[in-house]
Structure 1
Amino acid sequence: MLAVLCLFAATAQAEEPARLAPGEILRGGFSLDRSLTGFPRPLHSEGRFLLAPGQGLVWRGETPFRLVSVIAPGGLTQSLDGHETMHLSAAKLPFLGPLHDLLSAAMQGDWQPLERSFTVTRVPHGATSTIRLVPRADAPVGGLPVSAIEAEIGRFVESVTISRPGGDSDRLVFTAQRIEPGPPPDEDRQALDRANRR
């Protein structure tokens, strides 16, 4: 979940990234292949997401499980098949505030927080770019369970590979991304409200 937020922040490094105006939201689909040491094949899942700057991210897994993860300024929740299985307030997650601020700054075109938290390498390929993010150990969001994030970026983030210590990795591919006028639909707004409760 944290790495997903970081990859959205990486849109700041594209040549002409999609920028969200106040009140707009970003929606799309995703597929995830998770490679785990000792497993012969990646674990595959699919779903959709909604990003509302200043409000949070709703990440909905649809197959093979209906798993909903929400990260917001006030906290993080996770639900399985409509039943909440976890709720952590921002007070219990010291990294959440700086991470949320990092994302918000990037979406507003302020890249300095990103460069304070990551070593950023950018390689252009015409209309797209490859961005590699390596977390800095002394950064405000230091200690993330990732060793590197590599994203292919055009107007939106198209794909991302998340490498973790120990050899595990995630490969995310994003589809059908679009910017829409807000506010978020009721289902997503309610999910964000639950994550923000104390």
Structure 2
Amino acid sequence: MAAWLLFSASLPALTLDDLQQRLAQHRVIRSDFTQLRQIAGMSRPLRSSGRLLISQADGLWWQQDTPFPMTLILTEQQMVQQMPNQPPQVITAVNQPQMFQFNHLLRALFQADRQVLMQNFSLALEEPGTPAWRLVLTPNTSPLDKLFTHLILEGDQLIDHIALYDRQGDVTTLAFTHQRLLPGTLSDDEQQRFRH
């Protein structure tokens, strides 16, 4: 036990650069998610679940399955929300700049893009247990500082958990399970999800 403590104490501390490199090495991530939203004054949280696909080259595909189906696609150029039997809602930097900024930030969160995150947050990286890490983000730009008190990302080789604490006292948590890194390229069907 003493040898392990000595060994773990001699490991170099994880830096933000290390964390970004750790997360950026995965070109494609497939995962299931569960989202819980605890709204102030409500006794039970709102729960939703589904699947997501993150491609460094293409963007983020988010498929909510319960309590109702909804697809969200975030790319460098736009954000598309699609519900069954309804026309897609398309958000771009031109028609809704603030919402598009949030889209850009969401992608940066999933990839721990240090440059984008440092433009919008004060960052505090903690290591509660090796090799686990915890990144606390405190917004320092508008409108994020008007919406959130802080955000927390936790994980190991990947992001396993995200928590968003907003100014209304609500807390939204996202847990990612069954994360898969292979195959490292998108199938034809997966590529089609980003073609809008």
Q: What is the TM-score when the length of structure 2 is the normalising length?
A: 0.76
Supply the RMSD in Å over aligned alpha carbons: 3.1
Q: How has the CA–CA distance of structure 1 residues 106 and 43 changed in structure 2, closer, same or farther, with 3 Å as cutoff?
A: closer
Q: Is the 8 A contact 1:16 1:154 kept in 2?
A: no
Tell me how far apart the structure 1 counterparts of residues 80 and 108 of structure 2 sit (CA, whole Å): 19
Determine helix, strand or coil for the equivalent of 2:87. strand
Secondary structure of the residue that 1:73 maps to in structure 2? Answer: coil
Correspondence for 1:191: 193
Q: Contact 1:106–1:114 (CA<8 Å) still a contact in 2?
A: no
Can you give the 5+ residue segments of structure 1 that lack an aligned partner in the other structure?
1-10
Please report the TM-score for the alignment, with normalisation by the length of structure 1.
Answer: 0.75
**1:41 deviation in Å?**
0.3
| Runs of at least 5 residues in structure 2 that lack an aligned partner in the other structure | 1-15
The match for 1:100 is: 104
Is 1:70 equivalent to 2:73 in the alignment? yes
Q: 1: CA distance between counterparts of 2:135 and 2:144? A: 19
CA–CA distance in 2 between the matches of 1:58 and 1:155?
21
Alpha-carbon deviations, 1:93-145, whole Å to 9, x = none?
335369638956994x862332222100111122101111112126xx85673
Shift of 1:184: 2.9
The Cα offsets for residues 43-100 of structure 1, whole Å up to 9 and x where unpaired, read as 1111110111132111111111111111111211111236434122332233536963
Instruction: Return the alpha-carbon distance in structure 2 between the equivalents of residues 188 and 82 of structure 1.
Output: 21
Displaced runs of 4 or more, over 6 A: none
2:74/2:107 contact within 8 Å kept: no
How many matched pairs?
A: 179
Cα gap change, 1:137 to 1:77, in 2 (>3 Å) = same
Contact 1:26 1:178 in 2 (8 A): yes
Is the radius of gyration larger for structure 1 or structure 2?
Answer: 2
Q: Which residue is equivalent to 1:174?
A: 176
SS at match of 1:78: strand
Structure 1 CA distance for aligned equivalents of residues 160 and 32 of structure 2: 11
State the identity as a percent.
Answer: 22
- Higher RCO by CA contacts (8 Å cutoff, separation 6 or greater): 1
8 Å Cα contact 1:20-1:26 kept in structure 2 = no
Per the TM alignment, residue 191 of structure 1 is displaced from its structure 2 partner at its CA by 3.2
